[in-house]
Amino acid sequence: MVGTRSQEALPVLPVPIDRSRSNAYFNRMSKLEIIKIPDPILREASAPVETVDENVRRLMDDMLETMYDAPGVGLAAIQVGIPKRVIVLDVAGDEDEPQPLFMANPKIVRLGEPMRMHEEGCLSIPSVHVEIERPAEVTVQYVDRDGAEQELVADGLLATAVQHEIDHLDGKLIIDFLSRLKRDIIIRKFKKQQRPASV
């Protein structure tokens, strides 16, 4: 998900990771290619992760670097061509310490009643923004980078980002909130951009 780093109050999260430190955790990360529409893989439902092993942790780390580089506040594994139920997020403000979240098999178990309207962007649909109304608070269960089961109550931008990325895992995109006409116009635009230039 593309978004402006929020200055809203953030929930208490695990100790932030200092990306400026020279350590093996960040040195071995690499950027991945972000898939754009109309690639059909973005419509695939992602499969659950059986166990958070070293391969999944490496994927999470690479996704995080890719997301920061894009830049965005959330990224789903399907957006880098891997149909696994893995997302990474960081909605910390630009002036704040990074607060990365790694989620395998995220599942929303409760939606709050108040709604929140937010203009959402997507790294797989560059330069397109859609006003979407979603629950302002969600409770999500997931498996963290260490393989431990967690539950998090998220609100504000984090709640929006969690819902946006879980949509990706189910093959749903922000353009699905638009009318069919508007959605088709956007898809045609991206298809046209992919055509090779005439010689």
Alpha carbon distance 143, 118 (integer Å)? 27
Q: Are 170 and 77 in contact (CB under 8 A)?
A: no
pLDDT tens, position by position, 82-108? 999 999 999 998 889 999 999 999 999
Pick from 7-16, 64-73, 173-182: least confident: 7-16
| pLDDT recorded at residue 197 | 56
| pLDDT recorded at residue 57 | 98
| pLDDT recorded at residue 23 | 39
List CB contacts of 84: < 8 A, sequence separation 6 or more. 46, 47, 48, 49, 56, 59, 77, 78, 104
pLDDT, averaged across the chain: 88
Alpha carbon distance 127, 132 (integer Å)? 16
The answer, yes or no, to whether residue 137 has pLDDT greater than 50, is: yes
Sequence spans of domains, the chain: 24-194
113 given a catalytic annotation: no
Mean pLDDT of 139-145: 98
pTM of the predicted model as reported, rounded to 2 decimal places: 0.84
Q: Report which of 14, 12, 55, 4 is spatially closest to residue 155, judged by C-alpha positions.
A: 12
What's the fold here for domain 24-194? Peptide Deformylase (3.90.45)
pLDDT tens, position by position, 1-44? 876 554 444 443 443 444 333 334 444 568 999 999 999 999 99
Tell the residue number behind the tokens 């955790």, with chain if given: 25
